[in-house]
Chains A and B, each alone.
Chain A
Amino acid sequence: MAKRTVLDILVKNHAGVMAHITGLFSRRAFNVEAILCLPVADGATSRIWLLVNEDGRLEQMMRQMRKLQDVYEVAACSEYTSVFSDLTSVMNTEMETVE
């Protein structure tokens, strides 16, 4: 499996911000393996974690991300990948169908 890392992104919490960020990936046909997003502090900001493959294009994409008006901070942190592994068992259960 390709080596993975997590992009840790602090953003303004509003309806369009996810589309701005994921657009940077979709236009390059660059897959995002997993996404976590939670509001932080008073809810005016959110923190997004994107699990992605290590790739030579990441540096350029982080610079592009910093240029987005709604993005306050971006960092890459490979230690966070384990958080996603821990979630695997939760996500691997059957989906509940609501009748």
Chain B
Amino acid sequence: MQKMTGAECTVRLLERQGITTIAGIPGGTNLPLYDALSRSETITHILARHEQGAGFIAQGMARTTGKPAVCLATSGPGATNLVTAIADAKLDSVPLVCITGQVPTPLIGTDAFQEVDTYGMSIPITKHNFLVRSAQDLLTVIPEAFRIAMSCRPGPVLVDIPRDVQVEEIAVDAFPLPASADAPPVVAQSDIEKAAQMINSASRPVLWVGGGVVAAQADALCKEMAETASMPVTMTLMGLSVIPRDHELNIGMLGMHAERYTNMAMEGCDLIVAAGVRFDDRATGKVNEFCPNAKVIHIDIDHCELDKLRSASLGILGDIKDVFSKLLPKIDSKPRKEWNEYLGALKAAFPQHAPMESGFESPQKFIRLVGEIADDSAIVTTDVGKHQMWTAQSYPFTGGRQWLTSGGLGTMGFGLPVAIGAALAAPDKKVLCFSGDGSLLMNIQELATAVEHNVNITVILFNNQCLGLVHQQQELFFEGNIFSCEYPVALDYVTILRGFGWHVCDLAEDCSEEIVRQALATEGPCLIHMPVSRDEKVLPMVPPGAANRVMIGGDSNG
């Protein structure tokens, strides 16, 4: 039997769970936890500069490893600052365990200093949440938090621990076993038979993959399935890294910023095999005009997703890896020549808008260039805006957990801290962060965190001195009434980043492949600054709310 405080008990439970890195910021109500953490021999603490940064650093670790990562904040403003990162994790199904300090139990509900209702506030943005009532409860709550975060469809879990619970002494007989994920639902054999029959008899099938495939680590199986059935593959934003960019069956991302031929291919299919996707409006366009004639096999681990927006001809509840491994042996190997030739003709008639060559003439060409120079194992993060869509359209992905972007919430400020988390979780890899000037400013304080830990990240900043995607929408859909999206004062990012201690490569001064190579070979945090015209657009584009066949631009290789 050992005596310890609630704080010490929490730290021990995290250690036993295999946690080695925690991002956070201390404050009044989590100081006992920090005191206990200071004595941990296995956990390193990353001091973020803003709790949103801490939340996203944890996300970077979780998105890179697929395992739950931990962030730590104090009560009140610490907890409210975490909210955006937690909501982002919820929408993209990222496993997090967020621990917040809370005012002492007797003060809860009295509007005490730095008291907010963290439990109530986090209900709609977490998979589950806890308000811990006694130190003894920590022995069940902490492992439960991890189990819930990683089981089935992953997600964020919040544990709110009042200060008095952290200092309460308890006697611990034995620690519970570290949590493991629940077994996924068992797939019905009849569903497998039916799916195989539907795929085998389809003449124009499309495999549509999303973030669920990445979470299930089923990318290799997806590729095999596609190859066996000669079934073209389209991806959501979250599934872009499932199939290598240059694979002959890859027909690109569908939806709002798809290539024209991709959305047209979808119009022509007779069966959609939708795996780990949630029929998001950015992907489907106006949902009741989305492939109305196609049958749908929808495979997902979350029952709520089946029939949520489009009723499937066949809904399969299960783990995609498990489903595909059972399905694959039953799939007939077929060339589907006619269908693939038709797609080839579509592609020839409506050539890809994204450039095929790399270079410096446009952001997209430059993204390709960076991707070609960087190692295949590089991890790519983005912020949110035009640069995000350009990266989605042009980066030469090669597979796996390589692509970290804010899909569901679309959070500006995501890129830099997530890149830091990714670099901490995969220190042997290069991390690239494609960002815009608007987004970089939203978590710019984390430049300091990056320098402190000398993480191996390169930020590629497309500086158009405006909120570019907003600018584009005002131009296209508000008759060019450009309002409140331009930055009239040019910031000197080169000096700012040097001031933080970053290496800087300024393409405004000099640009050549050699300079980019050098920048990418730099160990530690490095900025590549690239000025971009405000008029560079993201095209083609489906106007918000329209059907996917209504596209602006992309009819020529412009």
Mark A residues whose CB is within 8 Å of B: 15-16, 19-20, 23, 27, 59-60, 63-64, 66-69
15 A-B residue pairings within 8 Å (CB atoms): A15-B131, A16-B120, A16-B123, A16-B131, A19-B123, A20-B123, A23-B124, A27-B124, A59-B307, A60-B307, A60-B308, A63-B304, A67-B304, A69-B128, A69-B148
CB of B251, distance to nearest CB on chain A (Å): 31
Give CA–CA (A64, B304) in the complex, Å. 6
Closest to A27 in B: B124
CB of B434, distance to nearest CB on chain A (Å): 33
Give CA–CA (A71, B304) in the complex, Å. 15
Closest to B117 in A: A19
Any A CB within 8 A of the CB of B119: yes
The one of B120, B129, B148, B304 in contact with A60, judged by C-beta atoms closer than 8 angstroms, is B304
Mark B residues whose CB is within 8 Å of A: 119-120, 123-124, 128-129, 131, 148, 302-304, 307-308
Give CA–CA (A63, B306) in the complex, Å. 10
CB of A19, distance to nearest CB on chain B (Å): 6
The one of A23, A66, A69 in contact with B303, judged by C-beta atoms closer than 8 angstroms, is A66
Give CA–CA (A49, B447) in the complex, Å. 52
Identify the interface centre among B120, B123, B129, B303: most chain A CB within 10 Å of its CB: B123
Number of A-B contacts (CB under 8 A): 26
CB of B506, distance to nearest CB on chain A (Å): 46
Closest to A65 in B: B304
Majority secondary structure, A binding face: helix
Give CA–CA (A16, B120) in the complex, Å. 8
Give CA–CA (A17, B307) in the complex, Å. 26
The one of B120, B148, B307, B308 in contact with A19, judged by C-beta atoms closer than 8 angstroms, is B120
- Top 3 A-B pairs ranked by shortest CB distance? A63-B304, A69-B128, A63-B303
Give CA–CA (A88, B120) in the complex, Å. 31
Closest to A15 in B: B131
Closest to B309 in A: A60
Q: Say whether, besides A27-B124, A69-B148, A16 and B304 are in contact (CB < 8 Å).
A: no
CB of A70, distance to nearest CB on chain B (Å): 8
Closest to A26 in B: B124
Closest to B129 in A: A16
Give CA–CA (A16, B129) in the complex, Å. 9
Closest to B152 in A: A67
The one of B119, B124, B303 in contact with A16, judged by C-beta atoms closer than 8 angstroms, is B119
Give CA–CA (A71, B129) in the complex, Å. 14
CB of A59, distance to nearest CB on chain B (Å): 8
Give CA–CA (A16, B130) in the complex, Å. 9
Closest to B148 in A: A69
Give CA–CA (A27, B302) in the complex, Å. 20
- New A-B contacts (18) at CB < 8 Å, excluding given A16-B119, A63-B304: A16-B120, A16-B123, A16-B131, A19-B120, A20-B123, A23-B123, A23-B124, A27-B124, A59-B307, A60-B307, A63-B303, A64-B304, A66-B303, A67-B302, A67-B303, A67-B304, A68-B128, A69-B128
B129: chain A residues within 8 A (beta carbon): 16
Give CA–CA (A59, B303) in the complex, Å. 11
